[in-house]
């Protein structure tokens, strides 16, 4: 009974975060006007969009690294083409819905069960990949905080102090993870699933793959944002990760509205830059989330159509 009430409370909080974030974004759009915002979006050069799509493709290819490493962890080997197909399709759904176990997990099981993987193996893969993502985010965030404190000249002393504090805390958390889980080879519990801690080498591989994912996705956004305003890439990376974390923690599908609202709130900008930031945020949402999801839908529609035709024959 307590768990049901807790789940209900979390759903209510997620909904409130969603409404608050949408209100914040809507209020900011109203200040600059819809016409001006649409004009800024439409003015984005085609080569900028192509570059952003290129980094999006790089990131979605990096997603297959999650699956290859997870399969290596559970001791399974599948055809490379099938792994890339399953990873890109499931991540496109997971990114947009925000529910890795329900949406992405179901899709992964549907695709991997045809390759002989059991449900428990798929669940272990998802748990392993969730840890991989968090490790990568911690590494990149830590590095960004350190570099930002050195190179971003506009920070005041208090701001730099908080950046150093954040970097130290993240470093301590990663260090404790290594000491507590990796070297004693403990079991990691993740949503009622227990998996053995990976080796030190595999943990390093997790950090690398997770970091590549975070860097590639941030480059998509930075490419779009840097066209509209003059901005420091390290500072963008720091705020981008914080906004992503806030979006993920609320469990709002794809962090819709929450990521945008958090970035607007955390990123220091002038009133003149607000329109460009909103244009970059909306374009990022379309290119990084909706385009891959649309292509995945077309892929499965074509796949189901081919299967239907084969059955008819």
Q: Which of 125, 109, 110 is closest to 76 using CA atoms?
A: 125
pLDDT tens-place string over residues 201-233? 888 899 999 999 999 999 999 999 999 888 888
Rounded distance, CA 40 to CA 272, Å?
Answer: 12
pLDDT tens-place string over residues 167-197? 677 777 777 777 777 766 677 666 666 677 7
Predicted pLDDT at 175: 78
- Rounded to 5 degrees, φ, ψ at 193 are -110, 130
What is the average pLDDT score of the chain? 76
Predicted pLDDT at 13: 54
Rounded distance, CA 40 to CA 273, Å?
Answer: 11
Contacts by 152-156 with C-beta closer than 8 Å and gap 24+?
152/232, 152/234, 152/235, 154/268
SS3 50: helix
Q: Is the pLDDT of residue 47 over 90?
A: yes
Predicted pLDDT at 310: 67
CA distances from 125 to 87, 234, 298 (A): 11, 31, 26
Percent of the chain with pLDDT over 70: 69
pLDDT tens-place string over residues 135-179? 888 888 888 777 766 655 444 444 555 566 666 777 777 777 777
Q: What are residue 196's DSSP bridge partners?
A: 187
Predicted pLDDT at 208: 92
Tokens of 135: 């490790």
Q: What are residue 187's DSSP bridge partners?
A: 196
Predicted pLDDT at 221: 93
**Contact (CB, 8 A) for 69 and 132:** yes
Domain spans, the chain = 32-59+132-296
């Amino acid at each position: 009974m307590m768990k049901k009430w807790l789940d209900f409370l979390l759903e209510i909080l997620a909904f409130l975060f969603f409404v608050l974030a949408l209100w914040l974004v809507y209020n900011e759009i109203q200040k600059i006007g819809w016409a001006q915002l649409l004009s800024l979006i439409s003015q984005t050069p085609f080569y900028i969009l192509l570059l952003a799509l290129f980094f999006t493709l790089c990131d979605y290819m990096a997603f297959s690294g999650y699956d290859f490493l997870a399969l290596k962890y559970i001791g399974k080997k599948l055809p490379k083409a099938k792994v890339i197909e399953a990873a890109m399709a499931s991540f496109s759904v997971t990114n947009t819905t925000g529910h890795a176990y329900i949406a992405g997990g179901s899709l992964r099981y549907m695709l991997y069960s045809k390759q002989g993987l059991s449900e428990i193996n798929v669940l272990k893969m998802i748990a392993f990949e969730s840890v991989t993502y968090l490790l990568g985010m911690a590494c990149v965030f830590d590095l960004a905080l350190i570099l930002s404190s050195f190179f971003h000249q506009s920070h005041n002393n208090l701001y730099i102090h908080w950046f150093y504090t954040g970097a130290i805390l993240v470093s301590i958390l990663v260090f404790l993870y290594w000491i507590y889980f990796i070297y004693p080879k403990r079991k990691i519990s993740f949503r009622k699933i227990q998996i053995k801690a990976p080796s030190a080498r595999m943990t390093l591989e997790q950090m690398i793959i997770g970091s590549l994912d975070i860097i590639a996705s941030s480059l998509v956004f930075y490419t779009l944002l840097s066209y509209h305003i003059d901005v420091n890439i390290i500072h963008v990376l720091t705020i981008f990760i914080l906004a992503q974390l806030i979006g993920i923690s609320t469990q709002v599908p794809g962090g819709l509205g929450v990521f945008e609202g958090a970035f607007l709130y955390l990123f220091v900008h002038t009133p003149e830059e607000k329109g460009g930031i909103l244009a970059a945020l909306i374009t990022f949402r379309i290119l990084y989330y909706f385009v891959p999801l649309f292509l995945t839908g077309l892929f499965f529609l074509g796949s189901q159509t081919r299967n239907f035709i084969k059955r008819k024959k």
